[in-house]
Amino acid sequence: MEDFKKGAMSSLRLIDNTANPSPLGLMGFGMTTVLLNIHNAGYYELNTMVLAMGIFYGGIAQIIAGIMEWKKNNTFGTTAFTSYGLFWLTLVGLLLMPNQGLGTATSKVAFAAYFFMWGLFTFVMFIGTLRINRALQVVFLTLTILFFLLAARDYFGSVAIGTLAGYEGIICGLSAVYAALAQVLNEVYKKVVLPLGPV
């Protein structure tokens, strides 16, 4: 009887019936990135719409997606969504905290270091996408370029690089929106409606 129980336990398989959290994380990242970079491209001021998106959709929604990816045993998804959710919260914090008397405003050189480190992290994550799909490769490659452009903008104080970063960031954000909606539609229709380019 004991041998039977041991055999039954060793062959136990759990079925994961939870939803795919990746579209939520990609939408939170993508839409917030597009809206911030429309500002960076010079079309409107940095306003509460961008900051609220940074806190709630870019920040909290991505953290939730990261926790859900952890539940699915996806180290890449957990690391990516949780990290970028916290990126948005730290970015909003850097912009708002000095106005509340919580520390001094971040210098341009410090912002350049901040964006450079995020660019370095994103480049390593891009290497991880080489084993996933083409859609995520585009997202992470364009995000790497975006972070390095933002670092260069702040380090050199260049308006032109900032504007270029804005347009490049819009492309990056839209690529994430595409990757998110492709997963949603492909799952709903149970066929490839929008290709992700598996490798």
pLDDT at 10 over 80: no
Mean confidence (pLDDT) of the chain:
94
pLDDT tens, position by position, 142-151: 999 999 999 9
CA–CA distances in Å: residue 134 to residues 75, 120, 126, 131, 137: 19, 20, 11, 9, 5
pLDDT at 46: 95
What DSSP string describes 3-69?
HHHHHHHHT----------HHHHHHHHHHHHHHHHHHHTTSS---HHHHHIIIIIIIIIHHHHHHHH
| Closest C-alpha to 80, from 144, 171, 134, 35 | 144
Higher pLDDT, 171 or 11: 171
**DSSP state at residue 107:** P
196 and 134 Cβ atoms separated by less than 8 Å: yes
Contact (Cβ atoms closer than 8 angstroms) between residue 141 and residue 128: no
Gap between the Cα atoms of 76 and 127, Å rounded: 11
Whole-number Cα distances in Å, 146 to 140, 149, 158, 181: 10, 5, 14, 22
Chain segment 100-137, per-residue pLDDT in tens: 888 899 999 999 999 999 999 999 999 999 999 999 99
Cα–Cα distances (Å) from 103 to 32, 96, 99, in that order, read: 26, 10, 9
Contact 95, 53 (CB under 8 A): no
Q: What is the pLDDT of residue 101?
A: 87
* Spatial distance between the Cα atoms of 54 and 89, rounded to a whole number of angstroms: 6
Mean pLDDT for 1-16 is 64
Give the tens place of pLDDT for each residue, 172-195.
999 999 999 999 999 999 999 999
Q: What is the pTM of this model?
A: 0.90
In whole angstroms, what separates CA 176 from the centre of its chain? Answer: 8
Query: Residue 31 contacts by C-beta under 8 Å, 6 or more apart in sequence?
Result: 53, 57, 58, 173, 177
Mean pLDDT for the stretch of residues 75-80: 98
17 falls in which pLDDT band (50, 70, 90)? Answer: confident
Distance (Å, whole) CA 58 – CA 151: 20
